[in-house]
C-alpha cells in the first residue's frame, strides 16, 4: 500500500468502518477497491479516489484491489490499462497481487444471471432501446410493463443462452431484472443487465457477444472479490438500492456501498469524454500534455506524488458536492517543491549587463546553495564574468520610486555574486534597451557587504560565455472559465478554450550546471517559479524545461485572511 507520509484525517467513511468493526459485520476485515474504467488516463479526481481507498486500506491494515471495470469493449484499450497502472505506482501505491478485471468475472456473472432468471427475477425483453426508454416512464409518471415481462423461466433461460451463443443481432434483445416498473427510483424500473454487442473485447476477444451493464457488473464484482466497503461518488447514491437488490436476491457476500462527493477543481475539466476530445482534436499534445489534469500530464509538468497526496488529503472527504479552488492545488505543489526542488538561475527574457570595472577574460567560480531548505542538497559552482544576462524586466531607465531593481545610479545585489551599481545603458533605434552597464564592489563577493550597507533588490543572472540556451514552456489554465464543465455544446466548449495556455520561450539562458540534468529533475529558478526538465524532449544538447507553477502564493494569502 505504501505512501506512508499522509495519514488520513477522520472522516465519515472511517466512522462507518469503525462501526462495522465494532459490530463485527465483516469480521474486522477492511477491503476496498479502486475500479477505473480503462477508457482514458487517470486525472486528479481519480487521485482523490486512489488516495482515499488505498489510504484506508493502509490505515486499517486492510487491502485495496485494483479492478479494471472493463465491461464496455467499444471504448476500452490496453494502452489505458498500462497507463493507469504506471500512474498509480508513480503516485506511491501498490495493489500487490490483487490486479483484477471485471471481464475475469464474465462467466460467473453469466451464472448469476441464470440464477436470477431461474428465480423468476430476470427476463429477456424484445423491446428496442427506444421502446424501453418510452416504457420507463418519468420521475412523475410510473413506467409500463414490457409485453415480454411474463415469459416463462424456461423460455427466458433458452433465449438468454441463445443471446450468448450469438444467434441475435445487436440491439434486438436485452436481459432485464424484474423489479418494479412503478418504483419512484428509476434505477429499479427493470434495469437492463445484458445487451447484445458483437464487439471484440481487449481481453476476452470474441468469446462474448453479450456484455454486462455497469450496475450488473459492479456490485457482483465487489462481492466476488470479498470487498467490504465499496466507495463510489455521489451520483451512485440512487443506484445503491439496486446494488443491494442484486446481492440480496443472489444471496452472496454483500459489501457496503458508501458514496462521497467527487472532487471538482476550478478551471479544470474532469470528464474523460471531454479530455479525450482535447486529445483527439489536437487541442493538447496527448494525454500527458503538461496542461492536462491527468496524472501523466501533471507528472510531466513537474508536480510531485507527495504534492498530489497532500492536496488530496487537504480537501477532505465530503458528502455534498463543491468546487475546490485550483489555487489550493497550486499551494500544495509549491509547498512540496519548496522543500525539494534544487535552486538555479535562468534568465527568461535576457538583456546584457556589462560590469565595466571587471577584467575581460576572467572567470570566477562562485558558490550557490542548491536548496536553502535542505543543506544536504549541497552547493554548486556558478561562473561569474564581465558580461552577464539579466531579465529585461529588472532594468528601467526611468523607474518609479518603489522599483527596487536596476536603474541608473541604483545599486542591487547579484545573487551569490556582488553588489553592482548601474552607470549607463544603451538602446536600439526603437529605444529598446539592449545593454546595461554597471560597476561592482569587489568587497561584496558572495553578495554580502561588510559595512552594513543594504540593498533592496536581488537579481538573478547568468554569465554570457557560460550560459546554455534552453527552451522554456510556460503554461496557463486550459480554460478561460472557472467552470468549464458548464459548456454543454461544442460551440460553447470551443469558446472557453484558452488560446494562450502555452507560451514557448526558445532562448532562455540557464546556468551551465543544470543543462545536463536528467529528464524529470525539478528546479526552482530564482524569482521565476518551479520548473521541471521535460520527460520527453529534454536532452543535455537541447535543454527543455516546463514551468510547474509560479512562485506567487495567492492561496497562502487567502488562507491567512480567513
Ligand atoms: P468519467 O465520468 O469522466 O468517465 P468515471 O468516474 O466514470 O469518470 P472511472 O474510471 O469509472 O471514471 O472512475 C474510477 C473511480 O474513480 C470511480 O470509483 C470513481 O468514482 C472515481 N472518480 C472518478 N472521478 C472522480 C472525481 N472527480 N472525484 C473523486 N473520485 C472520482
Ligand atoms: Mg465510471
Mention every residue, 6+ apart, whose C-beta is less than 8 A from residue 143: 135, 136, 137, 181, 182, 189, 190
Residue owning grid cell 438468454:
160
Q: C-alpha cell of 6?
A: 499522509
Rounded to the nearest 10°, the torsion over CA 322, 327, 330, 332 is -60
Residue owning grid cell 495493489:
95
- The CATH class of 272-342+470-561 is mainly beta
Asked if 482 and 331 touch (Cβ cutoff 8 Å), the reply is no
- pLDDT of 304 strictly over 50: yes
Average pLDDT over residues 332-350: 97
Q: Percentage of residues in the chain with pLDDT exceeding 90?
A: 93
Query: Residue 276: CB within 6 Å of ligand 1?
Result: no
Task: Write the CA distances from 520 to 230, 320, 421, 488, 546, integer angstroms.
Answer: 36, 37, 38, 37, 10
The number of C-alpha atoms within 13 Å of 423 and in the hemisphere containing its C-beta is 12
Q: What is the pTM of this model?
A: 0.94
Ligand 1 atom with the smallest distance to the CA of 48 is 29
- pLDDT of 2 strictly over 50: no
Residue with CA at minimum distance from ligand 1 atom 16: 46
Task: Give the domain ranges of the chain.
Answer: 12-260, 272-342+470-561, 346-460
Q: 554: pLDDT confidence band, cut at 50, 70 and 90?
A: low
Q: 142: pLDDT confidence band, cut at 50, 70 and 90?
A: very high
- Give me the CATH topology for the region 12-260: Rossmann fold (3.40.50)
Q: 558: pLDDT confidence band, cut at 50, 70 and 90?
A: low
Tens of pLDDT, residues 46-65: 999 999 999 999 999 999 99
Q: Any idea which residues carry the catalytic annotation?
A: 37, 262, 272
- Give me the CATH topology for the region 346-460: Ribosomal Protein L25; Chain P (2.40.240)
Ligand nearest to the CA of 235: 1
Confidence (pLDDT) at 452: 87
Q: How far is the CA of 33 from the centre of ligand 2 (A)?
A: 13
Asked if 355 and 328 touch (Cβ cutoff 8 Å), the reply is no
Q: 75: pLDDT confidence band, cut at 50, 70 and 90?
A: confident
Query: Residue 36: CB within 6 Å of ligand 1?
Result: yes
Tens of pLDDT, residues 224-236: 999 999 999 999 9
Query: Residue 460: CB within 6 Å of ligand 1?
Result: no
Confidence (pLDDT) at 339: 94
Q: How far is the CA of 234 from the centre of ligand 2 (A)?
A: 12
Concatenate the DSSP letters of all residues of 246-303 into one string. Answer: HHHHHT---PEEEEEPPP-BTT----HHHHHHHHHTTSSSSTT-TTSSBHHHHHHHT-
Rounded to the nearest 10°, the torsion over CA 237, 15, 270, 226 is -70
Among 413, 456, 455, 466, smallest CA distance to 438 is for 413
Query: Residue 48: CB within 6 Å of ligand 1?
Result: yes
Confidence (pLDDT) at 10: 78
Tens of pLDDT, residues 199-253: 999 999 999 999 999 999 999 999 999 999 999 999 999 999 999 999 999 999 9
The β-bridge relationship of strands 342-344 and 522-525 is: parallel
Q: How far is the CA of 349 from the centre of ligand 2 (A)?
A: 45
Ligand 1 atom with the smallest distance to the CA of 43 is 24
Confidence (pLDDT) at 4: 47
- pLDDT of 5 strictly over 50: no
Backbone angles phi, psi at 172, to 5 degrees: -90, -20
Residues 298 and 47: their CA atoms lie apart, in Å, by: 11
Asked if 324 and 509 touch (Cβ cutoff 8 Å), the reply is no
Ligand nearest to the CA of 68: 1
Residues 272 and 407: their CA atoms lie apart, in Å, by: 51
Ligand 1 atom with the smallest distance to the CA of 69 is 11
Q: How far is the CA of 238 from the centre of ligand 2 (A)?
A: 15
- pLDDT of 325 strictly over 90: yes
Residues 123 and 193: their CA atoms lie apart, in Å, by: 10
Asked if 197 and 72 touch (Cβ cutoff 8 Å), the reply is no
Q: How far is the CA of 270 from the centre of ligand 1 (A)?
A: 9
Query: Residue 538: CB within 6 Å of ligand 1?
Result: no
Would the CATH topology of 12-260 be identical to that of 346-460? no
Query: Residue 37: CB within 6 Å of ligand 1?
Result: yes
In this structure, of 28-32, 52-56, 72-76, 155-159, the range with the lowest mean pLDDT score is 72-76
Query: Residue 529: CB within 6 Å of ligand 1?
Result: no
Amino acid at each position: 500500500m505504501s505512501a506512508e507520509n499522509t495519514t488520513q484525517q477522520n472522516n465519515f467513511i472511517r466512522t462507518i468502518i469503525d462501526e462495522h468493526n465494532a459490530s463485527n459485520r465483516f469480521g474486522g476485515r477492511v477491503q476496498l477497491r479502486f475500479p477505473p474504467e480503462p477508457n482514458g488516463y487517470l486525472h486528479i479526481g481519480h487521485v482523490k479516489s486512489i488516495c482515499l481507498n488505498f489510504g484506508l486500506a493502509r490505515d486499517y491494515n486492510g487491502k485495496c484491489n485494483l479492478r479494471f471495470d472493463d465491461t464496455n469493449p467499444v471504448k476500452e484499450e490496453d494502452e489505458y490499462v498500462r497507463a493507469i497502472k504506471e500512474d498509480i505506482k508513480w503516485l506511491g501505491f501498490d495493489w500487490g497481487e490483487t490486479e483484477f478485471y471485471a471481464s475475469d468475472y464474465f462467466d460467473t456473472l453469466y451464472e448469476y444471471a441464470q440464477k436470477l432468471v431461474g428465480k423468476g427475477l430476470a427476463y429477456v425483453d424484445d423491446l428496442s432501446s427506444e421502446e424501453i426508454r418510452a416504457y420507463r416512464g418519468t420521475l412523475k409518471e410510473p413506467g409500463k410493463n414490457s409485453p415480454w415481462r411474463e415469459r416463462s423461466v424456461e423460455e427466458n433461460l433458452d433465449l438468454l443462452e441463445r443471446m450468448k451463443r450469438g444467434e441475435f443481432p445487436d440491439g434486438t434483445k436485452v436481459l432485464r431484472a424484474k423489479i418494479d416498473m412503478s418504483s419512484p427510483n428509476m434505477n429499479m424500473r427493470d434495469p437492463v443487465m445484458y445487451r447484445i454487442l458483437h464487439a471484440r473485447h481487449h481481453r476476452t476477444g470474441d468469446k462474448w457477444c453479450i456484455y454486462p451493464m455497469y450496475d450488473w457488473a459492479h456490485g457482483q464484482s465487489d462481492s466476488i472479490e470479498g470487498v467490504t466497503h465499496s466507495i463510489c461518488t455521489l451520483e451512485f447514491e440512487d443506484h445503491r438500492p439496486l446494488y443491494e437488490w442484486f446481492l440480496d436476491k443472489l444471496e452472496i457476500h454483500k459489501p457496503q456501498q458508501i458514496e462521497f462527493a467527487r472532487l471538482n477543481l476550478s478551471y479544470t475539466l474532469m470528464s474523460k469524454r471531454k479530455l479525450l476530445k482535447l486529445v483527439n482534436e489536437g487541442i493538447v499534445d496527448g494525454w500527458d500534455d503538461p496542461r492536462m489534469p491527468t496524472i501523466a500530464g501533471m507528472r510531466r509538468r513537474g508536480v510531485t506524488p507527495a504534492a498530489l497526496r497532500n492536496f488530496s488529503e487537504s480537501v477532505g472527504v465530503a458528502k455534498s458536492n463543491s468546487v475546490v479552488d485550483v489555487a489550493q492545488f497550486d499551494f500544495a505543489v509549491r509547498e512540496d517543491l519548496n522543500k525539494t526542488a534544487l535552486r538555479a538561475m535562468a534568465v527568461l527574457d535576457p538583456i546584457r549587463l556589462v560590469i565595466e570595472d571587471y577584467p575581460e577574460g576572467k572567470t570566477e567560480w562562485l558558490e550557490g546553495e542548491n536548496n536553502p531548505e535542505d543543506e544536504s542538497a549541497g552547493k554548486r559552482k556558478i561562473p561569474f564574468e564581465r558580461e552577464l544576462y539579466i531579465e529585461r524586466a529588472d532594468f528601467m531607465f526611468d523607474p518609479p520610486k518603489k522599483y527596487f531593481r536596476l536603474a541608473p545610479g541604483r545599486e542591487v545585489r547579484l545573487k551569490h555574486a556582488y553588489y553592482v551599481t548601474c552607470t549607463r545603458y544603451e538602446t536600439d533605434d526603437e529605444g529598446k534597451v539592449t545593454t546595461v552597464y554597471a560597476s561592482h564592489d569587489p568587497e561584496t563577493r558572495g553578495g554580502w557587504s561588510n559595512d552594513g550597507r543594504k540593498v533592496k533588490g536581488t537579481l538573478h543572472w547568468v554569465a554570457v560565455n557560460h550560459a546554455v540556451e534552453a527552451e522554456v514552456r510556460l503554461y496557463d489554465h486550459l480554460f478561460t472559465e472557472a467552470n468549464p464543465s458548464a459548456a454543454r455544446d461544442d460551440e460553447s466548449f470551443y469558446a472557453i478554450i484558452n488560446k494562450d495556455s502555452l507560451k514557448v520561450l526558445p532562448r532562455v539562458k540557464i546556468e551551465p550546471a543544470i543543462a545536463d540534468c536528467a529528464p524529470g529533475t525539478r528546479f526552482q529558478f530564482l524569482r521565476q517559479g518551479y520548473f521541471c526538465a521535460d520527460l520527453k524532449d529534454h536532452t543535455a544538447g537541447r535543454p527543455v524545461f516546463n514551468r510547474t507553477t509560479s512562485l506567487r502564493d495567492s492561496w497562502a494569502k487567502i488562507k491567512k485572511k480567513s
